[in-house]
Structures are given as C-alpha cells and as structure tokens.
Amino acid sequence: MPKLVIDDREIDVAARTKVIEAAAQLGIWIPRFCYHPALGSVGACRVCAVKFIQGPVKGVQMSCMIDAQDNMVVSTTDEEAVDFRRHVIEWLMLNHPHDCPVCDEGGHCLLQDMTVAGGHGLRRYLGKKRTYTDQYLGPLLQHEMNRCIHCYRCSRFYQEFSGFRDLGVMRSANQTYFGRYENGVLESPFSGNLSDICPTGVYTDKPSRFFGRRWDYQRCPSICINCSLGCHTVASIKYREVKRQEARFSEAVNGYFICDRGRYGFFYAGLEERSRQAMVDGKEVPFDQAVKVLKEKIEEIGRGQGSEAIACVGSARNSIETQAMLQHVCQLKGWANPSYLMDRAITKKVKSAISRLEPELVVSLRQVEAADFIMVFGADPINEAPMLALAMRQARRDGAEIAVLDPRPISLPFRFTHLPVVLDDLSLYASALIKTAVGRDAVKELGQNATEFYDVIPDVAGNSYPVKEQISNLGEKLRSSQRPLIVCGTEIVRETTPQLAADLALFLRAAKGQAGLFYLMPGANAFGAGLFSRVEDSFEKTVEDIENGAVKALVLIENNPFWQFPNRLRLKQALDQLDLIVVFDYVNSVAAQKAHVFFPTTTLFESGGVFINQEGRAQAVPQALTGGIPIAQTGGGDHPPRVYGLGISGFEARTAWQILAELADLELHSEEKLRSKVWNWMIETIPGFAALPPIGELPDDGIRIELGAQPSARFSMEGITKGEDLAEKFELIPVEWTFGTEELSAHCECLRDLAGKPCIFMCRSDAEDLNLTDGDQLSIELDRGIIEAKLRAENDMASGTLVIPRHKDLDWQKMDNGRALVPKGRIKKIT
Amino acid sequence: MAPKYPQILFQNRKPGRIATLEEYRQSGGYQALTAILEKYSDKDVQEEIAEARLLGRGGAAFPAGTKLMSVADDAPFPRYIVCNADEMEPGTFKDRVLIHTDPHMIIEGIIIAGYAVMAEKGIIFIRPEYESGARIFDREIEIARKAGYLGKNILGSNYSLDIVVHRSAGRYICGEVTAQLNALMGKRPNPMQPPPYPTERGLWGLPTVLSNVETFACIPHIIKNGSEWFKGLAKTETGAGTKIFCVSGKVKRPGCFELPIGTRLSEIIEEHAGGMIGGSEFKACLPGGASTPFLPPKYYDIEMDFDTLRNAGSRLGTGAIMVFDHKTCLVAATLNLTEFFVRESCGWCTPCREGLPYIRDLLWRIENGEGKEEFLPMLDRMRRHLWRAYCAFAPGAVSPLEGLLSHFEDELREHISQGKCPFKSI
C-alpha cells in the first residue's frame, strides 16, 4: 500500500494505482484528455502534468503514467506544472474551430472546461488553423474533425477496447486524422460510445443533434430494456420527450459503456403513432369509461363462461410491479393463472436457468471480464446481448481463451474458437466437457448423484462425435484454466442445455474452487417472468385454451404476440375465436389494433419500475418524465406549442399495474401506496423475492435475487445422448440480430438501416449439395406457408441447420411451436 | 595520400563499389565470428563489448554492452536483433556509406551481437530511400548464407541466425527504437514509453536488441583486436573507437571521414574537409545532426567526443557536422530544420504535434519581418516545455532553437528590430 502526499494531503492507495487516480481518491481532479479509466494511461495529451517534489520521481511528469509510490510528494498546483498545462491547452486550442455556440458538446465539453480552468483565456497564436474534411459515419454519430484534440480515445476504444477496425488513426504529425478509411456506416454496434468518450465535439449524438444543451435536458438515471443485461443509462428529456441516452457507469453491470441498441433503442417512447387514448372498439373514449366498459364485458364473460375463461398474458418487458399485480389480480378475481413467456420450452428453460443460478456460481457482466476461459453454449453475444461480447473481449485481451458451441454463423470482435454444432448435440458436448475437464476425484464432493451422473457420461475417446478432437482440446484447456466461465443462451437451445451448462459449472467449481455461470434470457425482465410463471404456463398454452374454447377473453399486458409467436396464422385464428381482446401497451402493435378495449400504458421513462436482469439483479428505475405527447408534436414542430389547454395532452396513459388494480377494484389510495402494497404482497407471496428491501430502497447496482442452491435440480441425465440423425431434414432456427429483431428498438428510425437485409443462412456445403449459391432467392415450404428470402451461404455454421433472423421485414412466422423441420425437397430456388 | 589515422570501418573503402565477401575476408573479416563460435560464450561477447566502452552510434550514445546485458538470462525465445538503418537524421549519411563500403562488416556485427543474446532472427530496418543499400544487403546476405555465416548452425556451431531486410515505409520517427518496433509489427510508428524496455519486451513481446549500423560495424573489430585496442583508438581519455563524421555545409570537401573519437572540430574542418570555402568564415555548426544545438565559434577547437560536447551544451549525436558560415541566416536555418520536424512528428503527443508548428509559426514571422520582442520569451518557454513531450523527438527538434536562443539571440533581435531578415538583400 504505497503512501504518498498530494497537495499536502496524505493518502494510502492500492499498489499500481496511478498518481492521477490517487489524486482522484482525495477528490483532486487532475485535468485529463487521453486518460480514461476504462482505456488506461497512454501519456499522449500531456495535460495531466504535475510536479513531483520528493521521492523516486522528480520534476514535472504525467500523473497518468506514474504509479503511486512510497515517499512521493506531489504538487498539482506547482507553478511550473500549471504553466506547462496552460501551454498544453493553448496548443490544443490552436486549431480548434471555437465553434462552441453551434456545437452539441457545448455545455458538457471537457475541452471547454479545461480551457477555462487551465486559464487559457486569450488567444496568442497568429497562424492559420488546420482544417479537415468530415465524414459520414452513419445514422448515429455526427463527425466534426476540426474540433479534434487528438487524445486518441476514439481509436483506442474502437479498435483496442471494442475490437472493430473500420475507424482509427490515419496520417501523421499535425494532420493526424481520426475516422474511417472512407465515408460509411460504422460497423461496430458500440460506436455510440464515441460520443460519450470524446472529450470534445468530434463525435456527437446524431438523432438529438441541435436539439438541446446538456442543461436544457432533464437528466435521469435509467436502465436499458432492449435485452436481458440491464445496462445503466442516463435518459435526457426535453419537451416531454426522451431525446438521448448515454451510458451510465455501473461497477457491476456494464462498466462505462453501452451498446447502440441500448443507447438508441428508446424512440418507441415518443413515437407519433403511439396510442395515448383508451379505446373501445377502435373509438377513443375517456379512460374511466373504458374501464367501466371492460369491467362490464369481463363480468358478462365471467357470468357465462366462468372467470377461468379470462386469460391474462404479461411479458418479459413488464416491470416487476406489473408482473406482480397481474398475478395478484388474477388470484383475486379467480381468472386463469397468468402466463408471461411465449412458449412452454422458453418457460421451462428460463425457470431452470433461474433455479440453477446458485449464489456461488452466478457472475455479473463485469465479472465476465475476469474469466480466463469462457465456454459459450447456444448464445450469440453480439446479436443477443451485445455488451456481453464487449465484456468477453476484455477477458480475451487479458489472455482468456473463448470457445463458442453454436449452430449459427457467429461473429465476435475477438479471436475465439467456434464449433458449429447442431442444437441437438449441445447438451451432449457440455457433458463431454465435464468428463474431459474434471477428474472423477473432484466429483465426489458433489455427492452420490454427481458421481452417478459423471459415470453415465460417455467417454469422448470412444465416440464418433464429429468434433471429437476439438472437444478434447477444449476440455484440456478448461481443465488447466483457473477461472472458467460458462455462458449459456436460453432462446434457441434445447431444454436440457441450460441444465447441463450449470452442471458443467458446478463440476468445474468443485475441481477448481471457482467457476462462473452466466445465462442470457429472452427479455429485460424475463427473470421476473420466469419467477412468476408456473412451469405449465405459457402463451402457447393460452392459445390452446382459446382453441379448445376454455378461454373467451384475452388480456395482453404489454405483450404483442404478433412479434414473436412462431405461427401467425394460428394466432390470428385463435384471436378470431375470442369474445374479448384487451390490450394494455405503450406501443401501437398489431395486437393493439385488434383489441376491443385498449389502454395506453406508460413506458419505464414515464413511470419507472423494477426490472430483474438475467443474473437475477433487481434494479430500480426512477420516473424520468411525466408522460404526454411531446411538445414538438403538439406544437406541430413550432415553438412554443400552438395548442393551449389545461393539463398535458396525451397524459391519459397509466402504468399497467394501475389499470389492473382498477379492474380489480383495489383501493387506489395514492400511486406510491399502491405500488408498495403490491410490492409487499409480492415479497410475502412469491418465493425468491423475500430478500428484497421495501420498494424505493434498492441500491443503484440493484440487489441480486438468490434462490439458494437447489440440489434437486442438478445432474439430470436427460440430454446427454447423441441427437437423432435428421438425415434429409433441416432444422429451422429463428434467431435474434443486434438490430431489427428486438421489438422495442425495431421502432427506432435511426437503427432501421443498421439491421441487415432479411436472409436465410445455410452452411455452404449444404447449399452446394442442393445446388444453391450465395445470393439465391429461396423459397422454403413449411406446413403453415412459404418463407421467401435470400440465401446467405456461410462456411462457419452447422450443417443441417437453417438460421433465420426474426427480421421485421421477413414473414417468418409460419412454423408450429417447437422445432421446425424442413425436408430438403421443400427448399427451392426461385428463378 | 595515406590517411592520417587508422581506417577501421573504412578499411576496404574504395570508390564506386562495395567490398566483396572475398575482400572482406582478406582484410580479416569473419575471423571474429569464427573465433566467438569456437571459444566465446554469449556472456564473453557481452563483456568484451561492454569493456570496449562502445557507445551507440545512432545518436543516443547508449552503451552497447549494457544493452546486450539487459537481456535477462531467462528471457523467452525467440529473441530478435534489429539493425537500425533508417538513417533519417538530416545531414547524416555514414550508414549509407558504410553499407556501400563493406556490408559484410555490418552483417558480421549483427551475427556476433545476435550471438551475444542468442537471437534467432535478425532484421535490417532500412529507409526506403536506401533501396540500393537494401539490394546490397539482400544480395550479400544470400552470399553470407551460402558461405555458412547465416542460417542454421552457423559455421557448424549450434548457433543459428538468419537476417531479413525490412524496407521502411519512411518516416523520421521510425528511427526511434520503440517506434521502429511498432513499424516492424505493422502498427503505427508511435513510440512506446519504457518500461518495459525492448530488450525485455520488444517485438511481439519478446526480447529485442536494436542498434545502429555503425555500432554493429564496430563489433567485429572489438572482438578481433580486443577492447583495449578499441579504447586506444580514441584521442580522449573517456572516448573509445573511431567515429565516422559526415561533414557538410560551407566546407571545401564535404564527405564522410573515419576519425578517432576526440578529433578536434577545427582539425576536421580544416584538414579533412579542406577548410571553409573561399570567402566564408565559420559561424556555427550542428555537431551531430539536425537534432543537436548549434555550436558557436568559441567551441571551434572542441574535441569531438560524447562527453566534451555534452559539457558544451550540445551532443555528438550521429556525428553529422553541418557547417554554417557568416553569410548564412541561422534563423532561416532553424526555421528550415523546424519545418522538417513539424512534418516528421508522429502526432502522438500534444507538445510535439501542436507545439512545434507554433514554434515554426513564430520563427517564420521573425524571419519574414513580422517578429515581435515578446516572441523571444515565448519561444524560450515553449522549447523548454517541449522537453516534456512523450519521447525524445521533441527535445531533439528544439535543439537547434535552443542553440539559436543561447548563442545567437542578437541575430534574432536584429531580425525583429529591422523588421526583415538582415541576410536578405531586399
């Protein structure tokens, strides 16, 4: 623990702390441009100079480059150091365009702050300014190179930290240029972070360009609900509209950065087509009237068919409050038990993942960075949860080995081993890895079941697995790793795979004393949905109940099955059989258009809420704004708005749980009281929530919900056999893409062009067997219709598999629930 | 006319062509290599070179022996030996002459130094303008390989080394050790601040020893004749060996001269370079390339050694002596040199990238009649602050300015007071 003195104040810091960080711990903020805690020290900008008066280092030196050591005496205010810093700022400002009045960074610009703070008030330089040509970098960022002060943060983040190569440094000397090799859309799905880390206005947020200064915005902490990771953001609101999101530091979850889907995925909240009025039979009615009508209709159905004929469906994007209230109200009213997840398989996988997240195994997103071997089963990080790919890259940069077992064509921004195996075999290989990576001795401490399980696993050596050698190699590496981590998806994998992934993690932990387990889940609050769901409940079952006449009224709470239900025709026919369709939502979905009664609900920005991410971390979001039609819309784009009236237009929306409470005639009191009432009910009733504090007392990084170890869930021997040989059939797997498949972000105009073109992936050798070539227009005949899309032949994916993104422009919902198997003869080229 | 001093590095110098392998052998070439492979350990070689007090000839004068010894015994393999032939210091052309004189002397030096650290791969990093030199190396390396001096099991020993020629893309900063390593690895040639030092973690994280062409050329002679002989070559107590001086500017016979370390500047100019050209008086010189401060007339008799020049506030650098006469405007000369450094900055750190153009601007104004008194303290303060840049480039770049300010301030003031350059007729 080095002890040093900075500006006459003593401090002990951890070994290898830089002086700039040691000063920060004392609350002394040494100027910096190139230094960034996540990107480290490089000593390029020279503005963090301080004077070392005593100790092992002497003179004016860069505080970011020198480790704090014993006996150091440092002055940040020494005249020589201050004069040097003033010169550095003067040099940086020589060529700066001084265009702060028209620069979006103005007001939160580090360069502005440093120029003023550094005392560089008067310009002495008489020469001409250097100018650059700006580039088109796509829909998310505006490029303005003249403002650049060459701190190299952008290229370091883009290339070193996030692993993409299309933006970087070019030219040299005082012509050094940061940008792409030519105009074009940035390839990295983390590019938005450039606007956060750029210390001046070279990269500014394009969708919110010229809309406001930092101080014009209501800024509010929030989290991202565009995938299950729950990254922290700051929402910026102006004129009743979320205009911009930035990354918010979180020690446990996302660190300093977020992905572009998360950063720009909020525009669904302010869409002009968003319905803000309650509607009955397509006509706008006052809210209370809609409640009244609905109550009557429900009562009528209840009288005729029994209250069980009323089925409610929540979703993985509901807040916990809504999910809980839904459960509560269904119980009170005797309605059918609510479902939250799309089909039986997903419900089962999410529930088993939740039960297997034992406290000793579960790791946070940040802890992924510390692993030295990451084994991924059936997950496509960059497409399903981009920030996971970024965390994995940090592990890779520290030397971790990474292997992915997945049938899809996986692309990640770092070197890794990809074994493209069919879904049927994932569980088998997971078990094979247990056998190769863990010795039998280590198994014993896990008990008799574990030993029996271990002995049942077939030996890799004696088998004819297609990837036998690679599995043995991976097993060997896993065996020698110190801090292994198992990552497992829950979307496309078989029901046994999350189980075997957890078993593998358990065995590794028994052998090494340390191992991590990290699941991805289908939705921001899929964890909550899984906790509230009974294993037999799913939307799939609800559809069956509609088909067999048991359900006559369907209430969809922030759920649009038209987005994700794999069989659209069946869904339509089922809905046609209903007497009553009720939709609560904040997006104008296909389901909402079919509703007999529609209630507008609030977004998380308008109401706040608690969401549980995929590791079980319950995180609270405060309300960021009072809902209503954005002023730009009410004013027709003019300012000030030309519509006058009392109250806020479009204010009718309420939280979904409030509307539910009204339906159940719960005593309304105040909103806060109601909220804590349902919260307390949940803590008392639903297992797993008992450890949560009263609402409003969740810390910033949330609290992890822990169900404890559940030994009964372990070591099921299901799935450790070779999958059936599909011979002449292909398995069709609908998958997620970074952009264009996630429901909320798909509403965002600025992300629209970033989604790839709709297509179907097929292994190149399979394509050759069928005489198909890359780019052919395919027709795939399924039992429920024909899917047409362009073929993309990939070398690096599993043979016997067809991968189809759930692209909004692709009419893919033509499969039955469960596996879609396509005989070879049904795949044709359209000529 | 027989040379006044023993010619060691230039022993086989002849007009118009290189010394062949045969000629080099006849002059004692590759004897040192044969000897060390037979009876020297790697440590013996390191000690002999350290004992000879051989200082790096590329400009920084780092002790070559110390550098070899800094490769740890248990350092990982493969290790690299790099010959820096990126001779871009303005006024310097000794490496080019050496390559065109006796390439095998350099090759043998690389092999012996490689043996001293058990390097497996040698790289000659050569500037693109030296394409003819690169071709000489390509050809002569192949000849050395055929003769058994390079490749697997050199001369039947257990030691193996091969050398490749790497043509630089051409920037001044590529001559800086760590920038050169980055360039070799295909990265931008930005310097990297040690630690770790290249001998610990250099190319691809492995131990790498990098030295100048002339340094390598000295090594076979040290091994062959011993460290005492080498030290005895110098005229000064502290110096060792000979030095190739590149004399240019207002002298009658500019050129490359191999002279003992410590030869007086006056002797170099008057005897070897034939004296000042007619009608010219010595006004100043840059003693060691463009990145050394001017020497004023009071040092006309100085002994050209590393220590003596350091004491005079300058540096021996590469030993490239640029001579200026009384009719030359040193403000214009400094401006010209600064232009070069402005262009060649790698752009990594602020003082160098932005500070140098500022200095250039101020010098340009002074030279072109727009100078102001207040520019002088600004220049002085900025050139001091440029010492706090990331690497040694910026301190080198402001060296001529430093000499200008300390010895020729009057000339600067005259520019300002006259509102024009006094050396220009109009």
| pLDDT one-digit tens code per residue, A713-747 | 888 888 777 777 777 899 999 999 999 999 999 99
pLDDT at A749 over 90: yes
Of A3-17, A259-273, A374-388, A675-689, where does mean pLDDT reach its minimum? A675-689
Residue pair A735/A125 in contact (Cβ under 8 Å)? The answer is no
Q: Strand locations in B173-277, DSSP E?
A: 208-212, 242-249, 255-260
Nearest CB among B349, B385, B388 relative to A44 is that of: B349
Residue A577 belongs to some domain of the structure: no
Residue pair A648/A317 in contact (Cβ under 8 Å)? The answer is no
Contacts with B193 from chain A: Cβ below 8 Å: 43, 65
Residue A685 belongs to some domain of the structure: no
> Residue B351's pLDDT is what?
97
Query: What average pLDDT score do residues A559-578 get?
Result: 94
Helix axes B213-225, B42-51, angle to 10 degrees: 100
User: Structural domain tally of chain A?
Assistant: 4
A499 and A440 together in one domain: yes
Cα atoms in the 13 Å half-sphere on the side-chain side of B364: 14
Query: Quick one: DSSP state of residue B354?
Result: I
Say yes or no: B340 contacts chain A, CB-CB below 8 A: no
> Residue B45's pLDDT is what?
97
Residue A265 belongs to some domain of the structure: yes
Residue A336 belongs to some domain of the structure: no
Rounded distance between C-alpha atoms, residue B96 and residue B85, angstroms? 8
> Residue A721's pLDDT is what?
75
Contacts with B381 from chain A: Cβ below 8 Å: 83, 87
Rounded distance between C-alpha atoms, residue A10 and residue A4, angstroms? 6
A377 and A513 together in one domain: yes
| pLDDT one-digit tens code per residue, A261-293 | 999 999 999 999 998 999 999 999 999 999 999
At position A360, the amino acid (one-letter code) is E
Residues 152-191 of B with CB under 8 A from A: 171, 173, 188
Residues 811-830 of A with CB under 8 A from B: none
Using a pLDDT cut of 90, give the percent of chain A over it: 83
DSSP string, B140-173: HHHHHHHTTSSBSSGGGSS--BEEEEEE----GG
> Residue A642's pLDDT is what?
61
A377 and A257 together in one domain: no
A372 and A263 together in one domain: no
Asked: is B21-232 a CATH 3.40.50.11540 domain? The reply is yes
pLDDT at A364 over 70: yes
Contacts with B350 from chain A: Cβ below 8 Å: 44-47, 88, 91-92, 149-150
Query: What average pLDDT score do residues A141-169 get?
Result: 97
Nearest CB among A47, A87, A172 relative to B347 is that of: A172
Contact B347 A95 (CB under 8 A): no
In whole numbers, what is the pLDDT of chain A averaged over residues? 93
Contacts with B346 from chain A: Cβ below 8 Å: 172-173
Residue A504 belongs to some domain of the structure: yes
| pLDDT one-digit tens code per residue, B298-332 | 999 999 999 999 999 999 999 999 999 999 999 99
> Residue A818's pLDDT is what?
67
Say yes or no: B347 contacts chain A, CB-CB below 8 A: yes
A496 and A381 together in one domain: yes
Say yes or no: B123 contacts chain A, CB-CB below 8 A: no
Residue pair A379/A386 in contact (Cβ under 8 Å)? The answer is no
Residues 97-136 of A with CB under 8 A from B: 124-127
Say yes or no: A571 contacts chain B, CB-CB below 8 A: no
> Residue B276's pLDDT is what?
97
A137 and A263 together in one domain: yes
Looking at CA atoms only, how far is residue A213 from chain B in angstroms? Answer: 29
Domain boundary among A230, A246, A270: A270
Structure tokens at B139: 């050809």
- Other CB atoms within a 10 A radius of the CB of residue A337 amount to 17
> Residue A477's pLDDT is what?
95
pLDDT at A635 over 70: no
The domain ranges of chain B are 21-232, 242-325, 330-418
Confidence of residue A502 (pLDDT cuts 50, 70, 90): very high
Confidence of residue A629 (pLDDT cuts 50, 70, 90): confident
Contact A169 B358 (CB under 8 A): no
Using only C-alpha atoms, chain B has a radius of gyration, in whole angstroms, of 22
Domain boundary among A68, A93, A118: A93
pLDDT beneath 50: ranges in chain B: none
Nearest CB among A43, A49, A174 relative to B357 is that of: A174
> Residue A724's pLDDT is what?
74
| H or E, element range at B344 | helix B330-344
| pLDDT one-digit tens code per residue, A772-825 | 999 999 999 988 889 999 999 999 999 999 999 999 888 899 988 667 899 999
A416 and A469 together in one domain: yes
What CATH number does residue A25 fall under? 3.10.20.740
A370 and A512 together in one domain: yes
Contact B357 A94 (CB under 8 A): yes
> Residue A641's pLDDT is what?
59
Nearest residue on chain B to A61, alpha-carbon basis: B388
| pLDDT one-digit tens code per residue, A218-255 | 999 999 999 999 999 999 999 899 999 999 999 999 99
| pLDDT one-digit tens code per residue, A642-690 | 666 677 778 888 999 999 999 998 876 788 888 989 999 999 988 788 8
Nearest CB among B188, B345, B351 relative to A173 is that of: B345
- Other CB atoms within a 10 A radius of the CB of residue A786 amount to 14
- Backbone phi, then psi, for B379, in 5-degree steps? -60, -45
In whole numbers, what is the pLDDT of chain B averaged over residues? 96
Rounded distance between C-alpha atoms, residue A411 and residue A795, angstroms? 12
Say yes or no: B344 contacts chain A, CB-CB below 8 A: yes
Contacts with A174 from chain B: Cβ below 8 Å: 342, 345, 347, 353-354, 356-357
> Residue A816's pLDDT is what?
80
Class at the top of the CATH hierarchy for domain B330-418:
mainly alpha
Nearest to B321 by CA among B392, B389, B266: B266
pLDDT at A632 over 90: no
Say yes or no: A43 contacts chain B, CB-CB below 8 A: yes
pLDDT at A295 over 90: yes
Contact A91 B388 (CB under 8 A): no
A477 and A362 together in one domain: yes
> Residue A365's pLDDT is what?
98
CATH number of B242-325: 3.10.20.600
pLDDT at A348 over 70: yes
A78 and A145 together in one domain: no
| pLDDT one-digit tens code per residue, A470-487 | 999 999 999 999 999 999
Say yes or no: A150 contacts chain B, CB-CB below 8 A: yes
A406 and A473 together in one domain: yes
Task: Please give the residue range of the domain that contains residue A401.
Answer: 348-519
Say yes or no: A18 contacts chain B, CB-CB below 8 A: no
Say yes or no: A47 contacts chain B, CB-CB below 8 A: yes
The ipTM value here is: 0.95
Residues 367-406 of B with CB under 8 A from A: 370, 378, 381-382, 385, 388-390
Nearest CB among A91, A152, A169 relative to B351 is that of: A91
A78 and A190 together in one domain: no
